[in-house]
Amino acid sequence: MATPPSPQKPKIITRLNTYVADSRVGKRFKLTERNSTFTTELRAGTATFLTMAYILAVNASILTDSGGTCSISDCTLLCSDPTIPLSNCTAPTHRVIQPNESCKFPPVNPGYSACLEKTRKDLIVATVVSSLIGCLIMGTFANLPLALAPGMGTNAYFAYTVVGFHGSGNIPYRSALAAIFIEGLIFLFISSIGLRAKLAKLVPKPVRVSSSAGIGLFLAFIGLQNNQGIGLIGYSPSTLLSLGACPASSRVSIAPVITAPNGTVSLMPGGSVSGDILCLNNRMESPTFWLGIVGFVIIAYCLVKNIKGAMIYGIVFVTVVSWFRNTSVTIFPNTVSGNSAYGYFKEVVDAHTIENTAGALSFKGMGEAHFWEALVTFLYVDILDTTGTLYSMANFAGFTDANGDFEGQYFAFMSDAASIVVGSLLGTSPVTTFIESSTGIREGGRTGLTAITVAGYFFLAFFFTPLLASIPAWAVGPPLILVGVLMMRSVVEIEWDDMRQAIPAFVTMLLMPLTYSIAYGLIGGIGTYIVLHLWDWGEGLLAKFGIGKGLKGNNFGSEGTNGNNNGARGDIKALEV
C-alpha cells in the first residue's frame, strides 16, 4: 500500500508570517485581527516610501529658497571687477564692494551661495529625521499605516510667503520656526484633550466622504504635473492649464515682473521665479514623459492582474532607467546642476550632520502682527489638512465606522502634532500625514508596521540620501495617478440624488486639486453645506419655540430625503452632519 505523499513544508515566507503573527510583535500590532501579514506590511512600507522619497530633495529645495539662517554676514567681499582677485583689488582703478541686501539676490554672492548649499544639506537631514520620528510615533502608538513628512503646500507657504525668497518676506526664518513650534504645541494641546477629534466630527458627512475622492484627484493632479510627475499638464497664460509633455529644452520659467518707464524689466519685489512650467513648442515629445507612461502601464497592468508590489515595480523600473547618463531620459544631464547631482549620486553614502537649522528658533518677533498671522494660518491649515487626510486614509483602509471614528485616532492626532514640534526644532516646515500613504494601503498595509517600515527606510536614507534623492519625478507620477483612481471609489457613498449632499461633496472634490490645498477644499465644502442648510436649521429652530409650525416645504428637501422631495420634516435637527 502506497503511503500518501507528505504535505509540502510551508514556504519560508509563510512560516515567517506565521511566526511573526503569533509573536508579541504580531499581537501588539494586530496583524491577524487586521487580516495582514508581516511581509505585506514590509511591502506596503516600501511602496509608501518610494512614492514619498521625492520629499527629501523637494522639501529641502523649497525651504532653501527662503535662505534659511543665511544672511548678509555670509556674503563675501568682492572686487568691482569680478575678474580681479580681492588681494589685487586696489584703488584707484578698482574698489572693494561691501555686501548689502542685494548680495542675496541674483547674481547671488559666492559666500551666500555656499551658505545656501550647506543649508540645503542641513534641510535634507532635517526632513529625514523629522519624517523618521513622525513615522515611528505614528506606527508605534497609533498602529496605523500612515507615514509623515514635511507637507507640500505648507512648505511653499513657509518659504515664499512667510519668510520670502532669500528672506525677503514678512518675518525671518528663525521667527517662522518659532511660530511653527508654538502652533505645534497648541495643536498638541487640543489633540490631548480630544478637542481635535471633536472638531473633526463637526465636518459634515458628505464633505468627509468626498474628501477621499478629492485627495485622489489632488494626487492625480500632482502626478500629471512636470515638477512632481510625468509632465502631461503644463501652464498656459490664457487658460491656466494646457497640454504639456515637452522636452526640457522647450520649457521656460515665468515670473511676475515690473516694467519701468525707461523700458527696463525687473522682478517684482517679493516675487519668485517658477519652475520651467511653460511649454513653448514640441508638446508630447518629452522622452521622460513617455518613460513615465511606460511606468504607468507597468503599474496599471499589475493592478489589473492583481499582482502584489505593483507600485514598487513601476517606480524602480523608471528610476533605474533614469540613472544612466548620456540618454534622453537621464536625471543627470550634462549641465552644471546635472553634474553636481551626479557627483552627489556617486557618493552613495553621505551622513551629513545638521549645522545651522537645528535649534534655530527665535522668539524675538512675537510682538509683530505678521508672526501671529503666520501662526494662525499654519494652525488652521494643519487642522483642516490633517483632519481631512487622516479621515480619508482611514476610510480608504476600511477603518472608519458609521460615525467616522477609527481605532487609534487619538494617538494619530497626537503623533501628527508632536511631529510638528519636532520638525520645527530641526528647522523644517510643519510635518503632517502624507497622502502618499494611500499607496502603501493599496499594497495591503493595515498596521503600524507599515509606518515603522517607512521609518526604517528614512533611517537608511540618512546614510543613502544620494541614491534616494535621485528618484525622478516621472517615476513618482504614475503611482500617484493610479492611487488617485483607487481613491475615487468613495464617490459611491455620496447621495447624488440629494442636492444638499451632492453640491458640497462636489465643491470639496473640485477645490482640492484646483486650489492645490486640501484645507481650501474642506472650507469650500463646509461653507456650501452650511449655506444650503441654513433654511432648514432656521425652520427647525423656530419650530422648537412653536413658531412657524404651519410652514411647509422648501426647495432643498429635508436631511435624509432626496432632492426630488419638496416636503420638509417637522423634526428637522438644528445641525445634522
Query: Where a domain ends, among 471, 506, 540?
Result: 471
**Same domain membership, residue 37 and residue 173:** yes
Asked if residue 413 is part of any domain, the answer here is: yes
**Same domain membership, residue 406 and residue 554:** no
- pLDDT score of 398 more than 70: yes
Per-residue pLDDT of 349-377, as tens digits, reads: 887 788 889 999 999 989 898 899 889 87
Q: Which of 434, 436, 405, 432 is nearest to 417 (CA)?
A: 432
Q: What was the pLDDT predicted at 78?
A: 74
**Same domain membership, residue 444 and residue 363:** yes
Share of residues in the chain with pLDDT > 90 (%): 36
Q: Judge whether 135 and 322 are in contact, CB under 8 Å.
A: no
User: How far is residue 107's CA from residue 35's CA, in Å, rounded to a whole number?
Assistant: 58
**Same domain membership, residue 25 and residue 135:** yes
Q: What was the pLDDT predicted at 271?
A: 63
User: How far is residue 5's CA from residue 46's CA, in Å, rounded to a whole number?
Assistant: 39
Asked if residue 32 is part of any domain, the answer here is: yes
Q: Is the dihedral of CA 247, 252, 254, 255 positive or negative?
A: positive
Mean predicted confidence (pLDDT) in 49-57: 81
Residue 234, all three cell numbers = 503644463
**Same domain membership, residue 466 and residue 503:** no
Query: Where a domain ends, among 405, 436, 471?
Result: 471
50-54, 451-455, 568-572: least confidently modelled range:
568-572
The chain-wide mean pLDDT, for the chain, equals 84
Asked if residue 420 is part of any domain, the answer here is: yes
Q: Judge whether 454 and 135 are in contact, CB under 8 Å.
A: yes
**Same domain membership, residue 455 and residue 362:** yes
- pLDDT score of 172 more than 50: yes
Q: How many domains does the chain have?
A: 2
Q: What was the pLDDT predicted at 404?
A: 74
**Same domain membership, residue 463 and residue 361:** yes
Phi, psi (deg, nearest 5) at residue 265: -115, 135
* Dmax (CA) of the chain: 112
Asked if residue 503 is part of any domain, the answer here is: yes
- pLDDT score of 559 more than 60: no
**Same domain membership, residue 131 and residue 45:** yes
Asked if residue 27 is part of any domain, the answer here is: yes
Neighbours of 340 (CB within 10 A): 12
Band of residue 553 on the pLDDT scale cut at 50, 70, 90: very low
Asked if residue 84 is part of any domain, the answer here is: no
Asked if residue 443 is part of any domain, the answer here is: yes
21-25, 275-279, 494-498: least confidently modelled range:
275-279
**Same domain membership, residue 386 and residue 434:** yes
**Same domain membership, residue 463 and residue 386:** yes
Residue 554, all three cell numbers = 422648501
- Answer with the residue of higher pLDDT: 575 or 144: 144
Residue-range definition of the domain harbouring residue 445: 19-76+112-206+356-471
**Same domain membership, residue 164 and residue 45:** yes
Query: Where a domain ends, among 440, 471, 502?
Result: 471
Asked if residue 253 is part of any domain, the answer here is: no
User: How far is residue 163's CA from residue 147's CA, in Å, rounded to a whole number?
Assistant: 27
**Same domain membership, residue 539 and residue 395:** no
User: What's 491's DSSP letter?
Assistant: G
Global model pTM greater than 0.75:
no
